[in-house]
Every structure is written in C-alpha cells, then in structure tokens.
Structure 1
C-alpha cells in the first residue's frame, strides 16, 4: 500500500517537472527572435567598432579625399583605398597621407624625392602632394629641389597640371608662378589631346582653379585636338565639359567670362 502511494507521488512529481520544462521551452522560443536580434545587433556593433576606416592615417577625412578623386571622377588617381606598392611604398604612403614630419625624416635619411610611384601612374612625390592638396608638403619638396616638370603616365607633363587636377588653388598659384617664365597656360602642345589647363579644371569642377586661370588670361574657347571619338577628350572645350557633367556653377562661371559652347555655337549647353 505504501509502495503504491509513493509511486503515485513520484509520478506526480515527474509530471510536474515535465510540465515546467515544457513551459520553459515555450517561453524561450516565444522570445527567440528577440534574443537573435540582440545577439546580431551586438555582433554588428562589435565588428563595426573594430573596423578600420578608409581614411585612417590620412590628414584629410574621407569626404575631403573623395571630393578630390572617386569612382566617377579621376578614378585612376584614387590614393586612399589601398597602401602604396613597390620599392618606395613607405615613402609614397607618407606622401599620400600628408605626413610631412615623416617625409622630412625620410629625406634627411637619404630618400630620393624623384623616385616614381611604380604602383600608381609613376607619379612623383611632388605630383601627389600637388594633386592631393598638401601645400606645406609642396613647399618643402620644392625647397628640396623637386622637379617641377615631373610627369606621370596619366597625361601629366608638369607639377602644375597635377595641381590643376586637384583643388588647392594656392598650390596652383605657387607652381604657376614657379613655371611662369617657362610655360604658357594656353599652350596645349604638351598634351596629346590638345587639352588646356582650364579645360582640365572645368572638367573636374574645380571652380577656384578656373577662376584663377581666367584671371591669368586662360583662353576659354580652345577646343581639343583629339581625333579619336572614343576618347573622353574628343571634341571638347571648357564649357562643353561643364555641360556634359552638368556642373551648373561651372557653366555659369565660364559663360559669365565669355565662354562659347563650340558644339552649339553660343553660350548654352543645348
């Protein structure tokens, strides 16, 4: 008799344990989505906090650098997405990042300032500094005797054009002054497509640079001599570039100073 009573008690206790476990399972699964969401969110935050930003180590922030070169403008001159390559990679990393103190230290230790960036267009340090817009670095390199006629494989024949491709008008002014006796800003004979500096600046929406070049007597109505219709510089002028790229402010600036769209025959885009 006692055995039967004890068995019933054990059975009742076991049933209660099963019921409790079942309820706990139901409660867990009813909140599973919330748990997953919390875990996922936490994981994302942790990963993001450990990620290295694209502009890490650079003097300029990412937005500033993207305004200089991006996937739609001067893509072949993007300098901030990957480390430099080649035998002078450390040198060019310091230059591109705008680390003037490191650049000075490397020069003091014998760094050749005329080496070419073999991993990117064979640009020199002066060319990169002029393009990116590091005025103090340009000053230092020029003082060190850097070649003002430094070329690269991207149709650059002197450091002034590197600066015009960029957006720091103070550098443009300084390099123009340094080359003034040797170079006419309207001379297109150096370019295989006949582009002038004001065309280059207008095509990249460098308003301050175009204003400066206008003040220096830039001819706004020159037309490129490129004969290949498949090249971007075919049949272009400063205003046609501004029209093609829908640069409204640039269009207004050029038209205000007498630019004519050779494609339309007047000061309009269409």
Structure 2
C-alpha cells in the first residue's frame, strides 16, 4: 500500500484559492482562517498589493479575525505596498477599538513603516480626535517626524484637520 500523494493545484487553482483566503480575511471569517492556519497556511501571506491577512482584516474592522491572526504570530509591522501598517489603517478608518486591540497585543504605539508615518499622524490627518487622544494617552510621540520630516501637527494642518491641529498645538505649547 503506497502513501497517498497530496493533491496538486494548477497555477490558476492556486491563485483562486489564495484570492479566496484573502476574501476570508477581508470578510472576517475567523473560523475558516483558524482552520487554514492550523493546517499550515502562512500567517503573513501577502496579496498582489502587499496586503497581509492582518492588514485586510484590520482595515475592514474584523476584531476577532485580527485577534486570531495575532495569536497565530501575524507580524503587525509588515507594511503593504502603499507603506501602510495595519495600525495606521485602523487609525485612518477611525476604528479606535482596532487600534486599542493592536496596542494590547503588543504593537508599538509609534510603529511606522518606511515612510515614518505613525497611527497618531493618520489620526491627526483625518481629524480622528478620539483616536488621537487615545494614542497620546498610550504614550504616542507627538513630535515624531516621518521620513519627509513632518510631524502629526504638520500633517493635520496640511490636511485641514483643524480640531486635531488645535489639540496638538495646545499639547505642544
């Protein structure tokens, strides 16, 4: 009796399977992703835009899926091809609960990709005051500069985020 060989997939079948996996992350199917991860799915799998499963799940607000991926060792510091980290995407989307979850799971409050932009900067740029206040309370550095030398205050002013700019001006004196 010979051992059964694993089924092989064509390139097209593999691509379709991968796209289905990314859809599971995008749609928050934690149960299916959990089974796939246990079966050997790489937790930091990336799509054609450089998005990891964690990026897709966090950007679309799926807290349970993000928790699962982080518990399976997903790297929250992998940026997508746009240079965005999952925590910055959550700040951009205005999902304070997601930002909190990521910080509670050990993501550094001032985590930044190559462009140097932090979640605080994204919160400031898009006038997300609740997230701005939360990140500052968690120790985010308002004086941090991105790769172009801009601070959160400069980013808020550039984007016309008057309330965030006023809050940061008051903080920085």
TM-score normalized by the length of structure 2: 0.72
Give distance in 1, aligned partners of 2:138 and 2:42. 34
Determine if the alignment matches structure 1 residue 123 to structure 2 residue 51.
yes
Scaled by the length of structure 1, what TM-score is found?
A: 0.49
Specify whether residues 148 and 225 from structure 1 end up closer, same or farther in structure 2 by C-alpha distance, changes over 3 A only.
closer
Deviations 1:15-56 (A, max 9, x none): xxxxxxxxxxxxxxxxxxxxxxxxxxxxxxxxxxxxxxxxxx
Pick aligned residue for 1:172 from 99, 107, 111: 99
Q: CA RMSD in A?
A: 2.9
In structure 1, the partner of 2:26 is 96
Deviating runs (4+, > 6 A) in structure 1?
A: none
**More RCO (CA 8 Å, sep 6+):** 2
Contact kept, 8 Å, 2:115 with 2:147, in 1: the verdict is yes
Determine the C-alpha separation between the residues in 2 that align with 1:164 and 1:97.
19
CA distance in 2, matches of 1:224, 1:114: 25
Indicate if the aligned counterparts of 1:239 and 1:259 stay in contact, CA closer than 8 A. Answer: no
Pair 1:208-2:130 in alignment: yes
What is the CA–CA distance in structure 2 between the aligned matches of 1:104 and 1:192, rounded to whole Å?
30
Structure 1 position 239, deviation (Å): 2.2
1:89 shift after superposition: 0.4
**Number of aligned positions between the proteins:** 159
Is 1:255 the counterpart of 2:155 in the alignment? no
Which whole-Å deviations, capped at 9, do the CAs of 1:138-177 have from their partners, x for residues lacking one?
Answer: 1121222322333322214x54344334322222223223
Determine the C-alpha separation between the residues in 1 that align with 2:39 and 2:145: 47
Query: Aligned pair in 2 of structure 1 residues 114, 195: CA closer, same or farther (>3 Å)?
Result: closer
Distance 1:133 1:184, change over 3 A: closer
Q: 1:190-246 CA distances to partner (integer Å, 9 max, x unpaired)?
A: 5444434311221233322211111122232344442xxxxxxxx532223222222
- Offset of residue 124 of structure 1: 0.9
Candidates 53, 76, 83, aligned match of 1:148: 76
Between Structure 1 and Structure 2, whose CA radius of gyration is higher?
Answer: 1
Matched ranges for 1:38-57 at <5 A: none
Matched ranges for 1:164-243 at <5 A: 164-179=91-106, 183=108, 185=110, 191-226=113-148, 236-243=150-157
Unaligned runs of 5+ in 2: 1-14
Gaps of 5+ in 1: 1-84, 227-234, 261-270
Flag the 1:86–1:250 CA change in 2: closer, same or farther, 3 A. Answer: farther
